[in-house]
């Protein structure tokens, strides 16, 4: 059985080398690590795009100032997108797998928005190749947003939670 800390270390090692794929077997458990493809960038970049839709009221004022509507939208959308990222910590997925908020469908979620977490607080489970891996917060603070749905497939490096550090 592989420990989450061992898996994280292996992912870092593979990421720092030219190896594209690593497969290990230990005590009947098999682990396969592949470097992500170009499609992963789209998933990671998708969160900021939603912020641009919150600014449609700016477009009607553009003709009065002489600026193009797209210029005003992009310049004013850049402020809200960059401001929250400055003070929030992202808990990201250390692997490709299925995201679960609780240990079973009958149990409550490990964390909810507004919950305080410590470095060792378990925030979710990631299932990869039939192995259930608990993910710890690794930061002290308050959960401000859950970025993925229960049962959703997540990519390596994909943000899962936003935490306001203490």
Domain boundaries, the chain: 4-35+88-165, 47-87
Between 80 and 104, residue with greater pLDDT: 104
- Whether 26 and 142 have beta carbons less than 8 Å apart is answered as no
pLDDT digits (tens, 9 = 90+) for 126-153: 999 889 999 999 899 999 999 999 999 9
Task: Give the tens place of pLDDT for each residue, 12-28.
Answer: 777 777 777 777 777 77
What are 25-51's pLDDT values in tens digits?
Answer: 777 777 777 776 533 333 333 334 344
Considering the chain, what is the average pLDDT of its residues? 74
Least confident range of 25-29, 62-66, 84-88, 98-102:
62-66
Burial label for 16, CB within 10 Å (0-12, 13-18, 19+), is exposed
CA–CA dist 139, 131 (Å, integer): 24
User: Does the 4-35+88-165 domain belong in CATH 2.40.50.100?
Assistant: yes
Q: Are 31 and 10 in contact (CB under 8 A)?
A: yes
| Interatomic CA distance for residues 157 and 12, integer angstroms | 11
- pLDDT over 90 percentage in the chain: 43
Q: Which two tokens stand for residue 54?
A: 């919150």
How far, in Å, CA of 152 to CA of 36, rounded? 17
Q: Please, what is the Cα angle at 39 between 139 and 79, to 5 degrees?
A: 55
């Amino acid at each position: 059985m592989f420990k989450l800390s061992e898996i994280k270390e292996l992912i870092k090692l593979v990421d720092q080398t030219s190896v594209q794929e690593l497969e290990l077997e230990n005590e009947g458990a098999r682990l396969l690590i592949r470097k992500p493809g170009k499609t992963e960038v789209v998933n990671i970049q998708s969160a900021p795009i939603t912020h641009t839709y919150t600014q449609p009221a700016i477009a009607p004022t553009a003709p009065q100032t002489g600026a193009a509507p797209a210029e005003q939208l992009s310049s004013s959308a850049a402020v809200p997108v960059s401001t929250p990222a400055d003070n929030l910590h992202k808990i990201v997925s250390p692997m490709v797998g299925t995201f679960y908020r609780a240990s079973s469908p009958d149990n409550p979620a490990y964390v909810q928005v507004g919950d305080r977490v410590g470095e060792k607080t378990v925030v979710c489970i990631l299932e990869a190749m039939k192995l259930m891996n608990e993910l710890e917060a690794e930061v002290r603070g308050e959960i401000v947003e859950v970025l993925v749905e229960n049962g959703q497939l997540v990519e390596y490096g994909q943000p899962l939670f936003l935490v306001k550090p203490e």
